[in-house]
Amino acid sequence: MRAEEALRKISDERPLVHHLTNYVTVNLVANTTLCVGALPVMAHAHEEVEEMVGLASALVINIGTLDPIFVEAVLLAGGRANERGIPVILDPVGAGATSLRTETAGRLLSELNIAAVCGNAGEIATLAGLTAEVRGVESLTGDAKEAARKAAGALGVTVAATGPTDYVSDGERTLAVSNGHPIMGRIVGSGCASTAAVGCFAAAGGADAETVAHVLAYFGRAGEVAAEGAGGPGTFEPRFLDALAMLAANQDGLGSALRVEEVSG
């Protein structure tokens, strides 16, 4: 689904997107969801996650601040989401940095039906069994195109590997997204927010490779718009939320500004 169509559908339907996310970036994730046009909820308690997922149109799992209690909540919520047939989006934050993160990401992929995985090049390379360097939650090395293609083929899901150029693959088809701005990498939570946006699009139209590529292009375009006149990271973030909302509300010319192309190899 292309960005304009998805954004119109989100505006009409106002889907609820349930986030099981980390406490470092929860505010940006919630505001991103609102600016895209969906409704966010951040519920982690074991006693309510299954009931809350029962109301949602998509579930986004982000393992940025990880502990055993959180993992159990994710498994409960993910199981209920799978029962209902709603898309589950996974952000394997820090996979490759520690064994806990790598093993948890692998466990979620084996025990839950995941529609799409979105991470940086190092995280995705780790899931693909490739060599990568991840320090904390930041990727220092990793070929994003190769990682996305190999991980998608191995896992059988849509995979997005973000970086200066984002690559999205379903194992057979790989798309490159060149929208974005370098200042986005200086905002804590920009990756978490992009996965939240993927969850919003998934709630409206699924999580195939084209849809995920178009949401990342829209997200990157908002970064380009926000960077115009921003004095630095501090002034960029509110401008970025404004740009997400503006582009969601008025899609005139959006399609021609999105740089998505199919790549080989």
Tens digits of residue pLDDT in 172-228: 999 999 999 999 999 999 999 999 999 999 999 899 999 999 999 999 999 999 999
Return the pLDDT at 251.
87
Question: Stretch 152-171: mean pLDDT, rounded?
Answer: 95
Confidence of residue 264 (pLDDT cuts 50, 70, 90): confident
Distance CA 142, CA 63 (A): 20
Report whether 42 belongs to an annotated binding site. Answer: yes
Over 50: is that where the pLDDT of 165 sits?
yes
Report whether 255 belongs to an annotated binding site. Answer: no
**136 — phi, psi (to 5°)?**
65, -115
Which domain, by its residues, includes 24? Answer: 3-263
The type of residue at 88 is V
CA atoms within 13 A on the CB side of 51: 5
Find, among 261, 124, 246, the residue nearest to 179 by Cα: 261
The DSSP call for residue 167 is E
Tokens 């849509």 belong to residue: 158
pTM here? Answer: 0.94
> Which domain CATH number covers 105?
3.40.1190.20
**Least confident stretch, 121-135, 160-174, 199-213:** 121-135
Confidence of residue 130 (pLDDT cuts 50, 70, 90): confident
What is the number of structural domains in the chain?
A: 1
Return the pLDDT at 137.
45
Mean residue pLDDT across the chain: 93
**CA of residue 65 relative to chain centroid, distance:** 16
Identify any residues that bridge with 62 across adjacent strands, giving them in sequence order: 91
Distance CA 58, CA 130 (A): 29
Find, among 45, 32, 49, 36, the residue nearest to 84 by Cα: 49
pLDDT 10s digits, 44-95: 999 999 999 999 999 999 999 999 999 999 999 999 999 999 999 999 999 9
Question: Stretch 103-132: mean pLDDT, rounded?
Answer: 92
% of the chain residues with pLDDT over 70: 95
Q: What angle do CA 96, 98, 103 make, to 5 degrees?
A: 75
The type of residue at 82 is N
Distance CA 211, CA 207 (A): 6
Confidence of residue 256 (pLDDT cuts 50, 70, 90): very high
% of the chain residues with pLDDT over 90: 88
